[in-house]
Amino acid sequence: MESFLERNSFFSHLYRFFDAATPSWLAYLLAASVIVFVLVNGLMLFTMALIYMERRLIGRFQVRLGPNRVGPFGLLQPVADAIKILFKEDLVPVGADRITFNLAPVLFIFPVFLSLAVVPFGERYFLADLNVAVLFIMGVSGLSTIAILMAGWSSANRYAMFGAVRAVAQLISYEVPMVLSLVGVLLLVGSMSMVTIVEGQRLPLILLQPLGFLVFFMAALAELNRTPFDLVEAESELVAGYHTEYSGMKFGMFMLAEFAASVVSSAIIVTVFFKGWEGPLLPSHLWFVIKLFVVLFVLIWIRATLPRLRIDQIMAFAWKVLFPLSLVNIAATAVEVLLWPQPTTAQIWAMVGINWGVTFVSLALWSWLMGPTLRPNMPQLLRGATTGKAA
Amino acid sequence: MIPAGAETSAMFNLAWWLLAIETVFAAILVIRLRDIFKAALALVAFFLGVVGLFVLLNAEFLAAVQLLIYVGAISILLVFTILLTRDVQGGNTSSRFRGLAMVPVLFLVSVVIFVATTTDWPLLQEAALLPPVQEKVAEVFGNSAPWIGGLLVREFVLPFEAVSLLLVAALVGAIALAREP
């Protein structure tokens, strides 16, 4: 307890403040509640910033203006949207299963907040320092899959059902490379605690784990249902996927949770691969926010650049490309850790060189081997139609 | 880690009772619900209760693994298979072996009650341990993941490898079954 207070200045300030007037267990609870309040509302603010940024930047990418009427530079557009969505009619379909239908949006948003609990967002500023934080984040993110299934099933709508089944197939496939890509990080740092991962990085881990970063980033994009992988809610095929039947604030909660999940995933990427809050000159929180927005910008950039993939391509990409690549990464990292358990600076730079070499060689090899199988080919029914032969 | 001595505090007891009631209630729902999809959701709630109980037992690693594997993977696969099965809306049909099933159930329940009541569960602060042993216990419980990992690749390496082999066999079998002819 004492060592925890020592390492967590945010918590200990609040704890000492409440401890003066109340019994210590209540002070503990009150301090934690204040931090949770700040975290939840801070995340909502960042989510609003992301929504604004995304709409304006996508506008830029598409050579148009984006929302610019409400407030200066359209800054109040997310607020206006939130108010509009609150006043919309809340519909429940006749055939829907009411309890499950109403529970799904709540269950969808709650893992997002939970995984924020272990992210250190400044030097000695965090809510909890779990020693199994990485596993905790992975486990908690699985909860949203169940919420998607509940939403799809309870809507009594085929499009919602198709969306949910696609979502589950995609999410459980991408969870495998996502977990495995972090094993390299765990081998190098030797701890699953997010705080130790930040403090244990002598170099930003993106230099030491380029392949792990690539796999994790792709898998995170898929877990977030963001654009190259957003066929869970492909408008042209499925109306809106699993949230087709939702309206008003329930739909708002789905949308909010998706954007908030983007923020949280970016925070995790910053913590694990970009040395978290560490940086010269500026205060640590500012560094964290700067790095967070850079990652968010890349997310938006990808959305504006890449078209949507097909479901079979997505599944093949997870199992035939990302999964083996993450295994290659684990093998390479394990050999290096075995050779140099206590690396000197020169050995660390040697590791960087080897890992980038492994990354380029394996990427070239996989695109040569797997490229032909992943190329866009025609659906089976159409195959015969163009060549004139029967399928 | 939960600080030593917290096992007897009021907050701890409250958390334990809430989790225990939630777990048992969810387990009953799994059996009693007619709709098999909702029963699977109740199973998820049950697994979450077990996660909470693991946390109260200072087993954070087991809690995280339970969350990752049971809540995140197994129950989703279960729900997925239910969704792919036709005609499940009618729910479970009643079984002819209702009366017969009571015999093993009663046996199991009595064994569990016997073991739980006759075992002398030692609490950490009550055990008269030498200071170095106490320190070791605190170290192991403070961060159990590396110790579990060490046990898996040293003392229990044979079962560990046997399970790996089984998983590889299952994977190869799945690929062989799903392969297009």
Angstrom distances, CA of residue B6 to CA of A314, B1, B15, B127: 49, 10, 12, 15
State the average pLDDT over residues A246-261: 85
State the average pLDDT over residues A338-357: 84
CA A165 centroid distance within chain: 20
What pLDDT, in 10s, does the model give residues A254-284? 888 888 888 998 999 988 888 878 778 778 7
Rounded to 10 degrees, what is the CA torsion of A163, A264, A260, A10?
Answer: 150
Domain-embedded: residue A388: no
Question: B6 burial class (0-12, 13-18, 19+ CB within 10 angstroms)?
Answer: middle
Give alpha helix (H) positions in A62-157.
Answer: 77-86, 98-116, 133-141, 143-154
- Per-residue pLDDT band for A390 (boundaries 50, 70, 90) equals very low
Choices 3.10.20.30, 3.90.79.10, 1.20.120.1200, 3.20.20.80: CATH for B1-88+108-126: 1.20.120.1200
What pLDDT, in 10s, does the model give residues A292-317? 899 999 988 988 888 877 777 788 88
Q: Cβ contact (<8 Å) for B68 and A131?
A: no
State the average pLDDT over residues A67-74: 81
Q: Do residue A223 and residue A78 come from a single domain?
A: no
Kindly report the average pLDDT of chain B as a whole number. 82
* Final residue of a structural domain among A49, A72, A87: A87
Residue A382 has pLDDT above 60, yes or no: no
**Structural domain for A79, as ranges:** 1-87
Q: Cβ contact (<8 Å) for B38 and A100?
A: yes
Query: A141 to chain B: which residues are within 8 Å by CB?
Result: 72
Domain-embedded: residue A201: yes
Q: Classify A190 in phi/psi space as left (phi over 0), alpha (psi -120 to 50) or beta.
A: left
pLDDT at residue A311, rounded to an integer: 77
Instruction: State the nearest Cα–Cα gap between A158 and chain B, in angstroms.
Output: 12
Pair of tokens at residue A54 = 């995304």
Q: Do residue A182 and residue A272 come from a single domain?
A: yes
Domain-embedded: residue A386: no
Q: Which residues pair with A94 in a beta bridge?
A: none
Range in A233-242, A284-293, B137-146 with the lowest mean pLDDT: A233-242
Q: Cβ contact (<8 Å) for B72 and A175?
A: yes
* Final residue of a structural domain among A87, A112, A144: A87
Looking at chain A, how many residues does it have?
A: 391
* Final residue of a structural domain among A37, A60, A87: A87
Q: Do residue A62 and residue A118 come from a single domain?
A: no
State the average pLDDT over residues A104-122: 86
What pLDDT, in 10s, does the model give residues A30-66? 888 888 888 888 888 888 888 888 888 888 888 888 7
A248: Cβ–Cβ under 8 A, 6 or more apart, which residues? A85, A86, A88, A89, A90, A91
Q: Do residue A232 and residue A296 come from a single domain?
A: yes
B67: nearest CB among A131, A139, A145: A139
Domain-embedded: residue A55: yes
Q: Which residues pair with A125 in a beta bridge?
A: A122
Instruction: State the nearest Cα–Cα gap between A145 and chain B, in angstroms.
Output: 7
State the average pLDDT over residues A376-383: 54
Question: From start to end of A191-239, where are the E strands?
Answer: none
3-state SS of chain A is CHHHHHHCHHHHHHHHHHHCCCCHHHHHHHHHHHHHHHHHHHHHHHHHHHHHHHHHHHHHHCCCCCCCCCCHHHCCHHHHHHHHHHCCCCCCCCCCCHHHHHHHHHHHHHHHHHHHCCCCCECCECCCCCCCHHHHHHHHHCHHHHHHHHHHHHCCCHHHHHHHHHHHHHHHHHHHHHHHHCHHHHHHHCCCCHHHHHHCCCCCHHHHCHHHHHHHHHHHHHHCCCHHHHHHHCHHHHCCHHHCCCCHHHHHHHHHHHHHHHHHHHHHHHHHHCCCCCCCCCCHHHHHHHHHHHHHHHHHHHHHHCCCCCHHHHHHHHHHHHHHHHHHHHHHHHHHHHHCCCCCHHHHHHHHHHHHHHHHHHHHHHHHHHHHHHCCCCCHHHHHHHHCCCC
CA distance A203 to A69: 44
Domain-embedded: residue A387: no
Pair of tokens at residue A71 = 């407030």
Query: A139 to chain B: which residues are within 8 Å by CB?
Result: 64-68, 71-72
Q: Where are the domains of chain B?
A: 1-88+108-126
Task: Please state the domain count of chain A.
Answer: 2
Kindly report the average pLDDT of chain A as a whole number. 82
Q: Cβ contact (<8 Å) for A139 and B64?
A: yes
State the average pLDDT over residues A148-157: 83
Q: How many CB pairs under 8 A join A and B?
A: 76
- Per-residue pLDDT band for B162 (boundaries 50, 70, 90) equals very high
pLDDT at residue A391, rounded to an integer: 41
Q: Which residues pair with A122 in a beta bridge?
A: A125
Q: Do residue A110 and residue A80 come from a single domain?
A: no
What pLDDT, in 10s, does the model give residues B82-131? 877 766 655 556 667 778 888 999 999 999 999 988 887 766 655 666 67
CA distance A161 to B24: 31
B19: Cβ–Cβ under 8 A, 6 or more apart, which residues? B49, B52, B53, B56
pLDDT at residue B164, rounded to an integer: 92
Looking at per-residue pLDDT, the higher value among A214 and A157 belongs to A214
Would an 8 Å CB–CB cutoff place A149 in contact with chain B? Answer: yes
Would an 8 Å CB–CB cutoff place A192 in contact with chain B? Answer: yes
State the average pLDDT over residues A11-23: 77
The closest of A269, A182, A185, A194 to A224, measured between CA atoms, is A269
pLDDT at residue B127, rounded to an integer: 61
Chain A from 154 to 183: CB within 8 A of any B CB:
161, 164-165, 168-169, 172, 175, 179
Supply the DSSP symbol for A125: B
- Per-residue pLDDT band for B170 (boundaries 50, 70, 90) equals very high
CA distance A131 to A83: 40
What pLDDT, in 10s, does the model give residues A328-345? 999 988 898 888 888 788
B71: nearest CB among A131, A143, A149: A143
Domain-embedded: residue A4: yes
State the average pLDDT over residues B64-76: 85
Residue of chain A with shortest Cα separation from B72: A142
A140: nearest CB among B67, B83, B145: B67
In a 13 Å sphere around the CA of B61, the CA atoms on its Cβ side amount to 13
Residue of chain B with shortest Cα separation from A103: B41
Instruction: State the nearest Cα–Cα gap between B86 and chain A, in angstroms.
Output: 14
Range in A83-87, B9-13, B30-34, B164-168 with the lowest mean pLDDT: B9-13
B64: nearest CB among A135, A145, A172: A135
- Per-residue pLDDT band for A93 (boundaries 50, 70, 90) equals confident
B58: Cβ–Cβ under 8 A, 6 or more apart, which residues? B1, B2, B141, B144
Q: Do residue A46 and residue A173 come from a single domain?
A: no
Residue with tokens 């927005």: A293
